[in-house]
Structure 1
Amino acid sequence: MRGAAGAALAAMIAATAFAAPVAADVAAPDVPPGESASQNMTHLSNQPKNGALQGTGSDIAFQGKYAFAGNYDGFTVYDLSDKENPEQVVQVYCPGSQNDISVYKDILVLSTDSSRSDDSCASTSMPATEKAAWEGLKIWDISDPLSPQYIKSVETSCGSHTHSLAPSKNGKDLYAYVSSYSPNATFPDCQPPHDFISIVKIPVKKPTSAKVVSTPVLFPDGGYPGDPSRSASTTSGCHDITTYVKYDLAAGACMGDGILLDIKDRERPRVISQVRDTENFAFWHSATFNNDATKVVFTDELGGGGLATCTGEYAPELGANGIYDIERGKHGKKELELKSYYKIPRINTAAENCVAHNGSLIPVKGKDIMVQSWYQGGVSVFDFTNSERPRELAWFDRGEGVSSGGTWSTYYYNGYAYSNDLGIGFDTFDIDDKIDGKAERVKQKSLNPQMQEPFGH
């Protein structure tokens, strides 16, 4: 999602034409305005936004007993010692949307995708038409998680909407695959066609030496040209990339294209499969592998996070997940094959932005289960073990008027689901044991959902 909550959501809706909904009568919402409801999961606690961080809540990363939650105004560190009621222990003010966040050992990385006057945490907004404007990555030392230290910035073309980490095999270097998009001929640092990503190399023992080491072109043919008739986006970069270094793979959601990458050579990733959905997908947003890297769940953020696609007027294939199997084609080549779509079955009001967004696997060995945010559509847990027949197992939903934007990201970490809401803060959920009982025994040392690691091996 680009922009902030509230007024920005309204502005996006007003400024953009979206895919035409299917004909249907608008039904009453399943969760009435002002109320909350759930099935097979329990809401345990909420830590409200407070202090200097009043911007949009964004992504989350985990390490040890801490959760690092992004916010357009900076990030918050939560102590998860009491897993059911986390404690806010640090608040860092450093504005620059989206503040997409990742952690690796003593390194924390933030994405800045808004033009700023400089790279400091005291920066102010500056038009992207100004050559002096800055956007890119900010790198922090979190050897003491209670006292993060800002140590380095790296400017990247078109900024950094999101980033994904990929450590080298020897662990000496950490690579950040920087996703950005929406070039403009009037932007000195974001020129079209922008068919590449930026790769930043961060030496683990000397992160202050971080720099851009390559800008591989992923779409030499220009990628998908877009389709104005259904408001499908032109490919001009990537929105999000998820790495899976165990398998030397990455999956890219690149606006008009979905891609599978070979990242054995971290600085020179290769596209090995490319797919388009010219019927239903409008904006390829993010990707999640299953545990053994035989499937990818791609999300379609139809409407950029500001559209109500869950009113019953939109077809179940619109604003949904696309579930792809990774199959062997000719000469053993890996290819992405669409198997089905998944969209939450509940009806929302026309005032609730609802579309597929960020989630992660629940580590149940032998099954493919995912927990996922749907903005004001709430949180959904679904099983896609059978790629052709995904089914919902649990959900939580706040009705209209409770949150000004809904939940951005929901991830499963050491027995609980944690969610960052755009408007009302940090939530904790307990999923029924009949669904995640086996997963509760899996102990993870860290979790970066855009840098997947295997469980159960």
Structure 2
Amino acid sequence: MTSLHTSRVRRRRLGAAAAAVGVLAALLTAQPAVATPDPGDTPRVAEDVSRAEQAEVEKSIKSGEIPGSGEIDMSKNMRHLSNTPKGAILGTNSDLAFQGKYAFAGNYDGFVIYDISRPKSPKIVSQVLCPGSQNDISVTGDLLILSVDSSRSDDTCHSASGPPDEKDSWEGVRVFDISDKTKPRYVSAVETACGSHTHTLVPDRKNVYVYVSSYFPDESFPDCQPPHDGISIVKVPKKSPQKAELVRFEGLFPDGGFPGNPDRPEKVETTGCHDITSYPKFKIAAGACMGDGIVMDISRPDRPKVVERVRDEENFAFWHSATFSNDGRKVVFTDELGGGGGAMCNEETGSEKGANGIYHLKGKGKKTELSFQNYFKISRHQADTENCVSHNGSLIPVEGRDIMVQSWYQGGVSVWDFTDSNKPEEIGWFERGPESTTGLTFGGSWSAYWYNGHIYSNDQNGFDVLELKDRRTDGAKKVRLDEFNAQTQPHIRH
């Protein structure tokens, strides 16, 4: 665990210019994972910015308007309890899942299991080398599921990168037995069309259904042919996970979905879904599907049906993820403008692009309706060297209020209240200074979730634990969950 220098800084509005089979003590050497990020390849090497932009970043740091590289800024109600640097798994940190006293952290090179029984000093329990982006991660009972959205030579954890235009290449979902957290055991794999960028668990008695989100088909890819207008559905028997199988491909867009806009290349054509959040309590799911936002009836988990669809022709570029309010009457959709690699939190981009969209949800079945209310975006403008856009978050279980914690890459971790849908406001935050002052560099928090009284963030600088001390969220500290996957939303009974 390391401690970082903390800098309390003033803020102003930045101008447009600144604007991985087995677990080993010593991990085996493997081929690097090939990243298949969201639209717009996430930059692994700093991209040049103009001298004027560089000068503006340096000026803002020197004047205390933004934190410097390696420094931390946070609101007065936020505490940084710990940071656990990356161990032997050194790839890009991705999503998080939780169970009991453990946190499970995805990484493009595998996954890490942390003991978080003492939030001030998390301990690494095991590290699994199993390359394949994004290694989006979920847990249920003794099972852990990973998404692989990069072509591999085979389905093993020793695979190498494989070309997507070869039929024998593999991508899809991997299933592990985590009954022994110190020795996760790889038990099965299922290949899915276009791989698995993300996935969503929908429990159903003896089985768990996995909704597989993937996109970007190509006629040259044998296992990813257009049209790709839906999701793959995998069934995993809870007591026989080695029998996991693909049960169907469910078309969601009979009309092909949003066709894109030649005059607005940032607005991505719908060729599948990016992420889906199920809400088993109400037998519904919300899908963020590139150019479309949808609501599905999942009363039959193996046959989800779209009951409502919306678009935002003006501002949303890439519908990325969704979160329900606890009562299921609101949905927050996120827009990942620029694919997570762009500097989209500067003044030039504005407050309505790369933001969250708040929708009200009314009716059931065929009478379901979504109505747009407002946008929310962090107002703390970031530098042009910082990738920043709305990303993964979850509800904070506060009775009578709608409050979320959310990642914004180098925009850090934000806590915001949308109880009044028309007047959302940020009530807390944590962030680091720019990874670079001379070029646009990928970094920051990928996922930030509330779990049993604390905020956990999978940042490229390591695994962060935060504590929020605020009367508006204190009630949430009483809520205890046995398991948490953000994409399988639990209903909180207060």
- 1:164 and 1:450 in contact (8 A); partners too: yes
Q: Which runs of 5+ in 2 are unaligned?
A: 1-33, 48-55
Separation in 1, partners of 2:180, 2:403:
34
| CA apart distance, 1:80 | 0.9
Q: 1:248 & 1:165 partners in 2: Cα distance?
A: 13
CA distance in 1, matches of 2:469, 2:35: 34
* TM superposition shift of 1:318: 0.3
- After TM superposition, give the deviation of residue 11 of structure 1 in Å: 7.0
Counterpart in the other structure of 1:136: 172
Which residue in 1 is equivalent to 2:482? 445
For 1:207 and 1:190, the matched residues in 2 are separated by 25
Q: Distance in 2 between matches of 1:79 and 1:188?
A: 41
1:104 offset after TM fit, Å? 0.4
CA contact (8 A) 2:42 2:442 kept: no
Aligned-partner residue type, residue 225 of structure 1 = P
Return the alpha-carbon distance in structure 1 between the equivalents of residues 337 and 129 of structure 2: 31
1:74 aligns with 2:107: no
Match runs of 1:41-60 below 5 Å? 41-51=78-88, 53-60=89-96
Cα distance change, pair 149–4 in 1 and its aligned pair in 2 (3 A) = same
Compute the TM-score of the two structures, normalised by the length of structure 2.
0.86
Partner of 1:325: 360
TM value normalised by structure 1: 0.93
The answer to whether structure 1 residue 384 and structure 2 residue 418 are counterparts is yes
Moved more, 240-249 or 398-407: 398-407
Matches within 5 A, 1:107-122: 107-122=143-158
Cα distance in 2, alignment partners of residues 198 and 224 from structure 1: 19
Q: 1:424 aligns with which of 438, 461, 466?
A: 461
Q: Is the 8 A contact 2:67 2:73 kept in 1?
A: no
* 2:198 match: 162
Counterpart-to-counterpart distance in 2, 1:286 and 1:85: 30
Matched residues in 2 for 1:70 and 1:354: separation?
A: 20
CA distance 1:397–1:384, shift in 2 (3 Å)? same
Question: In 2 relative to 1, CA 211–355 (structure 1 residues): closer, same or farther, beyond 3 Å?
Answer: same
Name the stretch that deviates more: 142-151 or 396-405.
Answer: 396-405
Asked if 1 retains the 8 angstrom alpha-carbon contact of 2:36 and 2:149, the reply is no
Query: Number of paired residues?
Result: 441
Deviations 1:151-181 (A, max 9, x none): 000000000000000011xx21100000000
Match of 1:357 in 2: 391
Unmatched runs of 5 consecutive residues or more in structure 1: 15-24
Question: After superposition, what is the alpha-carbon deviation per residue over 1:199-244, rounded to whole angstroms, capped at 9, x for unaligned?
Answer: 0011111111110111110000000001132220000000000001
Q: CA RMSD in A?
A: 2.1
Q: How does 1:35-46 map to 2 (within 5 A)?
A: 35-39=71-75, 40-46=77-83
Q: Taking structure 1 as reference, are residues 409 and 157 closer, same or farther at Cα in structure 2, changes over 3 Å only?
A: same
Where does 1:372-411 land on structure 2 (aligned, <5 Å)?
372-401=406-435, 404-411=442-449
- Partners of 1:4 and 1:269 lie apart in 2 by 26
Please give the residue correspondences for 1:230-379 in structure 2 after superposition, counting only pairs within 5 Å: 230=264, 231-328=266-363, 333-379=367-413
Identity level (%): 56
1:10 to partner: Cα distance: 2.9
Q: Using the alignment, how far apart are the partners of 2:141 and 2:67 within structure 1?
A: 44
Q: Displacement, 1:33?
A: 2.6
Whether 1:153 aligns to 2:189 is yes
Give the alignment partner of residue 173 of structure 1, picking from 207, 230, 239: 207
Q: Do 1:41 and 1:432's aligned partners in 2 also have CA atoms closer than 8 Å?
A: yes
Quote the offset at 1:456 in angstroms.
2.2
User: Shift in Å at residue 115 of structure 1?
Assistant: 0.1
CA distance in 1, matches of 2:349, 2:230: 33
How big is the shift at 1:345? 0.5
Structure 2 residue aligned with 1:21? none
| In 1: Cα distance, 2:97 partner to 2:133 partner | 16
Match of 1:9 in 2: 42
- For residues 141 and 433 of structure 1, the distance between their equivalents in structure 2, rounded to whole angstroms, comes to 38
Counterpart position of 1:102: 138
Letter of the aligned partner of 1:178 in structure 2? V
Deviates more, 1:429-438 or 1:401-410: 401-410
Task: For 2:470 and 2:238, locate their aligned partners in 1 and report how far apart those are by CA, in whole Å.
Answer: 39
CA offset at residue 86 of structure 1?
1.0
